[in-house]
Structure 1
Amino acid sequence: MSKVLVIGYVWPEPTSSAAGSRMMQLLNFLSKEDHEVLFCTTARNTGNMADLDSLGINTKRIKLNDPEVDDLLEEFKPDIVLFDRFMMEEQFGWRVDKICPQAIKILDTEDLHFLRQARERAFKKNEKAEDLYFDSDLTKREISAIYRCDLSLIISEAEMQLLFSEFRLPKEILLYLPYLLEMISENKLRNFPSFEERKDFISIGNFLHEPNWNAVLYLKEKIWPQIRKKLPEANIQIYGAYASEKVFNLHDEKTGFIVNGRAGDSSEAMRNARICLAPIRFGAGLKGKLIEAMQNGTPSITTNIGAEGINSELPWNGFITDSENEFITKAIELYSDQNLWNQKQIAGVEIINTRFCKEEFQSNLKSRLEEIKVNISAHRHMNFTGEMLKYHLHKSTYYMSRFIEEKNRNKN
């Protein structure tokens, strides 16, 4: 039995974010592959964290710049180390290289953080994102972390293409691994609530994520008032974890803008809605809310950034538009036309079943890990840039970490 150490950015919260769902998919895969899995994080416990004990996964809270992490690595002796986002590789990758040099290092990027940041800055400054990410320190940090790992998991084909075309990363250190989903059977499709059984629109997303807050504000100020004029009996139900006071201040029953906060069961909330609205104007990765809409038979209307990486050439389960007026028109049309709604629901099922088959992508990941394990030395020699970046990071990070450790020791 091989040992896998997962170093998480946060405790996984699958009911709060798409990132939490993604991590749980990976942990489920690892635990079912007969690995001994240990999940560690520097984050504090939360009331919404997943019960990893039920999967047979041990957990431990660790600290930054703490020699006890070295002791943990010495004792556990992992064969594989999975970093949840590049910041964890920056903090702990050099320790893994020092103590467990033969361990396969995997980076789950979740999404490309530098791309998300560049798009947000571009949106706010009315500039082009590609003019911003090449000069960004975040870009250099994230690309460096990808090079230093033996394999990086990329959730979107669009992001794979960006890394190949703009940054010339070698294909041997990247693996396209989208969400790992169960197929939607004919029986499940038949059991979805019908068009007549559903009502209202829905918008859902973790409010710690800036693109979600921006989208809800856009709905409130520009889009929803126009929809409500044509559909006065309809409401929009706003859901999302970690809603602050500024979010709840948007609640207005008179205009049908209902802010609910965290959804007790997001799948149930999605199944009860007729349409999912996601006017996302910046961001990266795959948008979990739109995947969840398809999984629950709920057509959606979104932007090109919202749909990026999900459907490829397949018809969308609703409409994709960056035009505010068209977004409003299509929302009204789809809400009112049962035949069109039924067609779009089926399109969403086809996307899930064609693009996110769990068995196919799990098999790809397993095969790639076996290839790397057998040829680890040759694999790393091919990636000389990564070896060079490890050398320089180790020199700088090692001495800085030791300085902080000594400083902390003197305080105590």
Structure 2
Amino acid sequence: MKKKLFVIGFVWPEPKSSAAGSRILQLITQFQNQGYEVTFSSAAKMSYNTFDLNTINVETKPIFLNDSSFDAFVKELDPDAVLFDRFMTEEQYGWRVSEQCPNALRILDTEDFHGLRKAREVALKRNEVVTLEYLQNDTTKREIASIYRCDLSLIISEAEIDILTNQFNIDTSLLYYLPFLLEPISEDDIKYLPTFEARQHFITIGNFLHAPNYDAVLYLKQTIWPLIRQQLPKAELHIYGSYESQKVTQLNKPKEGFFIKGFAEDVNEVMQNAKVCLASLRFGAGLKGKLIDAMQNGTPCVMTSIAAEGMFESKDQLLSEVEVNGFIEDNPEVFAKKAIELYTKAELWQETQQNGFKVLNQRFNKADFEQMFKSTINQLSDNLKSHRENNFIGQLFMHQSMQSTKYMSKWIEAKNK
């Protein structure tokens, strides 16, 4: 009999809209390769960008918030493992899974460390350095509680593993480093990419509902792009992203070479047409999908240290030793200067492009992670009782006196009847 994986999505996957959508599909593929039948549910509404999971043999079923119909459904499904897409879904459904399917392996995919992103956002608004006090925010407390309630949490960035273990003393047995899982770039792939001479203009891309992306676009508009445009008066910046709102569209200024292009149906096409990608993120967490898109399509980048975090250096490397597909700069004047250099110097552009291919193949080749991940899941499943006994803090968070979300959910359900 095949094993069953039940994925509870914060939203339905939209790989064309966000890196999170691609990430969850990568995880589904990993479990399918391990022999799991997969069922996906979400309480969110589907959109025109929603990926058709049935095309990859994944069963789908909508679920509801604060509704005990979920209990009967998950009990009948009887999954061997449950994957929570972000800590918010674990808060809502984790206690129900625990009660109805106590022997199911509970896995949290954090997507990125939301508490870290929140800390950086608040510190940026106050023009202050992120301290431990900022890190210890309410989002962090909720997220770490979720990590303890689960048997394993998938962390996409080594930088976040470091913060969780060193700043918050979380046992490494609860954390598992699993970055983007990609097909390697072949010489044939590279051969057919447009050349330096065939490309033009700058690009940036990102879901506009994601606060760090909107802030990055605003930062480009107000601070960085005028510096670039001053030296390259005919250059254009093309900004792509799903879910553009009026506050985004009003930034469109063709006379300034600043174009809001909206949703990109084919990210590879628009990225290959561009000469340089700009990733001016000032807060955020996790790995940045726009950098992966750029490297896969041979487009060098200028990026902030926030954008580059976890992408290029491993825990055993110094940043000065790392090859980057462009430049990492936080000073806006230097950022603009490096963008102009990449845009105008073919040899430098080609050198950094090659660095990007190396990074993809050396750090994100899915073949390097698949077998170890499979072994970890099997070992956890076989030793689940002892693993949970060693996670006493997790047991504390599962105690009825600590389950405010459970009783709030029950209250909301009773109120709605």
Normalising to structure 1: TM-score of the pair? 0.97
Task: Report the RMSD for the aligned CA atoms in angstroms.
Answer: 1.2
Aligned to 2:349: 341
Q: Is the 8 A contact 2:227 2:333 kept in 1?
A: no
Query: Are positions 1:291 and 2:299 aligned together?
Result: no
**Shift in Å, 1:160:** 0.3
Which residue matches 2:416? 408
Whether contact under 8 Å (1:94, 1:393) holds in the other structure is no
Partner of 1:5: 6
- Which string of whole-angstrom CA distances, capped at 9 and with x for unpartnered residues, describes residues 116-144 of structure 1? 00100000011222244344121111001
Q: Does 1:391 align with 2:392?
A: no
Partner SS state of residue 126, structure 1: coil
CA displacement 1:305-350 (0-9 Å, x = unmatched): 1100000042110000111110011111110000010000000000
Distance in 2 (alpha carbons) for counterparts of 1:224 and 1:195: 21
Q: Which amino acid aligns with 1:368?
A: T
Gaps of 5+ in 1: none
Query: Are 2:107 and 1:99 aligned?
Result: no
Please name the residue that 1:320 is paired with. 328
Matching residue of 2:376: 368
- Whether 1:351 aligns to 2:359 is yes
Q: CA deviation at 1:393?
A: 6.3
Find the aligned partners of 1:290 and 1:297 in 2 and give their Cα distance.
10
The C-alpha deviation readout for 1:34-79, integer Å capped at 9, x for no partner, is 2111101110111100010001101111111111101111110000
Cα contact 1:31–1:56 (8 A) shared by 2:
no
Aligned to 1:140: 141
Q: Does the 8 A contact of 2:326 with 2:352 survive in 1? A: yes
Contact 2:66 2:410 in 1 (8 A): yes
Q: 8 Å contact 2:279–2:303 — kept in the other structure?
A: yes
Whether contact under 8 Å (1:271, 1:296) holds in the other structure is yes
User: Structure 2: where are the runs of 5+ without partners?
Assistant: none
Indicate the SS of the match to 2:369.
helix
Q: How do 1:232-271 residues align onto structure 2 when only pairs under 5 Å count?
A: 232-271=233-272
| Alignment partner, residue 62 of structure 2 | 61
Give the conservation status (yes or no) of the 8 Å contact 1:94–1:394. Answer: no
Q: Which amino acid aligns with 1:360?
A: D
Partner SS state of residue 181, structure 1: coil
Q: Structure 2 vs 1, CA of residues 198 and 260 (structure 1 numbering), >3 Å: closer, same or farther?
A: same
- The answer to whether the 8 Å contact 1:200/1:273 transfers is yes
Please tell me whether the aligned partners of residues 114 and 142 of structure 1 are also in contact (alpha carbons under 8 angstroms). yes
State whether structure 2 residue 33 is matched by structure 1 residue 29.
no
Q: Is the 8 A contact 2:199 2:274 kept in 1?
A: yes
User: Counterpart in 1 of 2:40?
Assistant: 39
Give the letter for the 2:371 counterpart: S
Amino acid in the other structure paired with 1:71:
A
After superposition, residues 108-257 of structure 1 pair within 5 angstroms as 108-257=109-258
Cα offset for 1:397?
A: 3.7
Which segment drifts farther, 393-402 or 23-32?
393-402
Instruction: Letter of the 2:192 partner, please give it.
Output: N
Query: How many aligned positions are there?
Result: 409
Letter paired with 2:112: D
1:275 partner amino acid: V
Q: Do the aligned residues in 1 keep the contact of 2:120 with 2:283 (CA within 8 Å)? A: yes
Q: Deviations over 1:132-166 (max 9, x none)?
A: 43441211110010011000000000000001101
Amino acid at match of 2:308: A
Which TM-score applies when normalising by structure 2?
Answer: 0.96
Paired with 1:224 and 1:188, the residues of 2 have a C-alpha distance of 32
Tell me, yes or no, if the aligned pair for 2:119 and 2:135 is still in contact at 8 Å: no
AA in 2 matched with 1:57: V
Contact kept? 2:83, 2:108, Cα under 8 Å: yes
Q: Using the aligned pairs only, state the percent identity.
A: 52
Which amino acid counterpart does residue 282 of structure 2 have in structure 1? R
SS in 1 for 2:224: helix
DSSP 3-state at the match of 2:399: helix
Once residues 393 and 360 of structure 1 are traced to their aligned partners in structure 2, the CA distance between those partners, rounded to angstroms, is 42
Aligned to 1:82: 83
